[in-house]
Amino acid sequence: MLKLFIAALLVSSPLFAEEFQAPVTDTNWQVIESPLECSLMQTIPSFGKAGFYRRNGQPLQLTFDTDNQPAENSHVLFEMSAAPWQNTEEFDTLKRIPTSSGQRQFQIEGPLAQQALVKMQDGRFPIIRYRSQAYADDITVKLSTIKFSDSLPAFQQCLNNLYPDSFSEVRKLTVYFESEKANLDKASLQALTRVAEYVKVDDSVSQIIITSHTDSFGRKRLNVPLSEARAKTIRDFFVGQYEIPAEKIIMRSFVDHDPAATNKTAKGRAYNRRAEIELIR
């Protein structure tokens, strides 16, 4: 009877605290390089993966992603080990962050992530501790430094070569036109060049929507083709100068039906003589 009780207890109760890290003999880093993102990740058996990630225009992240160790409602503690030469078991606390039930990703970013990346070059390794749904006590997850120095140069090179503009910075653009004209001035050409160059490196951009407008000055029969000509000028710039596929570009002409300002003043009409460019993913 006692044996049955103990067996039932073991089956129904959470396991004791556990530690996860890549095996010393099988630690590998995967580097992903592109103009828009850089990743330096390590697989951690029975946990998931951890490492560093940066998207262009965003801060560096230190992230731990788990497949099978979701968190309880509690907190996660980010720490750094001491350097091997310090001969101590003490850890430096980086940050304590609340966790929600079922949470599977834990991350810090910006200066703290950069600090962790620098300290790993001294042999120190990041650690997280948190309450998993599978264990009675907090679990510990360690990011190994083995082979780190072999993969770090490629990751740093990727960081240095990240495209300077982010999607949010170029997603929307408005250019303006002189009265009764459809040609682009120097400032507009520079702004459109910035958008076109971004589209060339971001394959996730599926559409470019060009919405053209006029002010209410002049005859309607002249403003209709003028509005269309403004959209076509921008489309031809993207297609002719940057070889962006024409089928990716959608043109819409509103003439003077959607003013951005009043048409009763010269300043207002100047705001209405415009084309709006929007990138869609």
pLDDT for 1: 46
pLDDT for 4: 42
* CA–centroid distance for 13 within its chain: 40
Q: Give the integer Cα–Cα distance in Å for 231 and 208.
A: 11
Tens of pLDDT, residue by residue over 10-43, are 443 344 469 999 999 999 999 999 999 999 999 9
Helix (H) or strand (E) holding 71: strand 71-81
Q: What is the pTM of this model?
A: 0.82
pLDDT for 8: 39
Alpha helices by DSSP H, 111-185: 111-120, 148-160, 167-170
Tens of pLDDT, residue by residue over 148-166, are 999 999 999 999 999 999 9
pLDDT for 194: 97
Alpha helices by DSSP H, 69-130: 111-120
Which residues of the chain are modeled with pLDDT < 70? 1-17
pLDDT for 218: 76
pLDDT for 155: 98
pLDDT for 17: 60
Q: Give the integer Cα–Cα distance in Å for 46 and 114.
A: 27
Q: Give the integer Cα–Cα distance in Å for 90 and 81.
A: 7
pLDDT for 217: 85
Token pair of 147, please? 């082979």
The structural domains of the chain, ordered by start, are 19-161 (2.60.40.2540), 167-280 (3.30.1330.60)
